[in-house]
Structure 1
Amino acid sequence: MELEQSAREPTQSGQARWEGTVPSAIDARILGLVVVTAGVAASVNIPAGGVVVALAAFALLASAGVVVHLLGERKLRRITDELVERWVAAGGEITDVTRTSAGMRTEWTIETPDGEVTVGGIALVPVAQFFVEWQGVGDSMAASEAEENIDALAESLYEELFEIGSAPQRS
C-alpha cells in the first residue's frame, strides 16, 4: 500500500478513474483526546506516588493511546483500500477517495458515478468499528470481522452499490 498517492487515469467515458491509494487519516482530535485522558488518569497518581509516578503513568498511557489509534487507523485504512481495490477489479468505477471526518469517527468518502459512499469507523484498535453509508443507509460491524470477511463484504457491497445502484429506476 503506497502512501498519499492519487493517480488518476481517464476512462473511456472521459471521467477520471481512481488508481491511487487511500489517504492517511491520523486524527489530531483523537490524539488530543488520548493526551487529555492520559493526563487526567495520570493526575490520580500524584497523591499516591508523587509527580514522578504521575509523569511515568502519563507517558505510558499517552504512548499506548497513540499506538492504539495508529493501529486502528491502519486497520480501517487497509479495509477501505481492499474494498476499493476489489470494487475496481470487479468493474466498478471509482472517481476519487478522500479523507473526511465527522465527530470522532475516521472516514473516507469514495466517489462513484452513482453517488458517494462513506466508509470508516472508530480508529481505536480494541474497539475498532467499521461502517459503510450510502444514500442515507448505513451498516456497521467490528473492524476485525470486516477484515476477516473482506471478500464477502466487498462482493455484497459491490452488488448493492454498482449493480443495483446503477440499474435504471422505474416509475
Structure 2
Amino acid sequence: MQLEQATQESGWSGTIPSAIDVRLLGLVVITAGLAASVNVPYGGLPVAVAAFVVLVGGGVVVHVLGERKLRRITDGLVERWIAAGGEIDDVTRSADGMRTEWTVHTSGGEITVGGIALVPIAKLSVEWQGVGDTMDASEAEANLDALADSLYEECFEIGSAPQRS
C-alpha cells in the first residue's frame, strides 16, 4: 500500500512503455537475407525462403526477449528509486521506435536507461548528466538492488546536492 502512495505522489503512472528498436530489426532482416542467400545454390529457392523465415523469426524473438529484459530492469530501478524517496515524474520512450531506450524524468534531471536488446548479449546502459555506464543485462538483473542503490546515490543524493563554484 505504501508503494502505491509513493507511485501516486511521484506522478509516474507505473507503466514502462514498449521500446522496440526498428534499426535492430532491420539488421536482423538484412543478416537473415544474407545468410539465407547462401542456401540458394545448394537447396534452391524454397530452402532459402525457409531459412530466411526461420532466421527472421528467431531474430525477432531474441530482440523482443531482450527488450522485455531491459524493460523489467528499468521498471525495477524506477520502483526501487521511488521506494527510496526519489521523485520520478514520468518514464517515456526516448525515441519513436529507433532505440530500446527510456527517459526517466526526475526533479533533478533526466536519466536515460536503455541498451542492446538481444537476449544472449543484452547490455544495459544508464546515462545521467552526460556520464554513462554499460553492463551486462543479466548481471544487472541479478544485482538489481545493489545497482539501484548505487544509481540512487549517484543520481538523487549527489545530484541534488548544491553545486559549489
**8 Å Cα contact 2:90-2:106 kept in structure 1:** yes
| Correspondences of 1:4-153 after superposition (within 5 Å) | 9=8, 11=9, 17-101=11-95, 105-153=99-147
Alignment-mate amino acid for residue 121 of structure 1: G
Report the CA distance between 1:28 and its aligned residue. 2.3
TM-score by length of 2: 0.90
Runs of 4+ in 1 over 6 A off after TM superposition: none
Amino acid at match of 1:55: V
TM-score normalized with structure 1 length: 0.87
> How many pairs does the alignment contain?
159
Matched to 1:163, the amino acid is E
Give the number of the structure with larger relative contact order, counting CA–CA contacts within 8 Å between residues 6 or more apart: 2
Q: Counterparts of 1:84 and 1:116 in 2: how far apart (Å)?
A: 12
Alignment of 1:161 onto 2:133: no
Question: What value does the CA root-mean-square deviation take over the aligned residues?
Answer: 1.8
Structure 1's unaligned 5+ residue stretches are 1-7
Unaligned runs of 5+ in 2: 1-6
- Kindly indicate which of the two structures has a greater share of residues assigned to strand: 1
Paired AA for residue 118 in structure 1? T
The DSSP-based 3-state class of the residue aligned with 1:95 is: strand
Q: Give the C-alpha shift of residue 105 in structure 1.
A: 4.3
Per-residue deviation, residues 73-96 of structure 1 (Å, max 9, x unmatched):
000000000000000011000011
Percent identity among equivalent residues?
Answer: 73
CA distance in 2, matches of 1:52, 1:149: 46
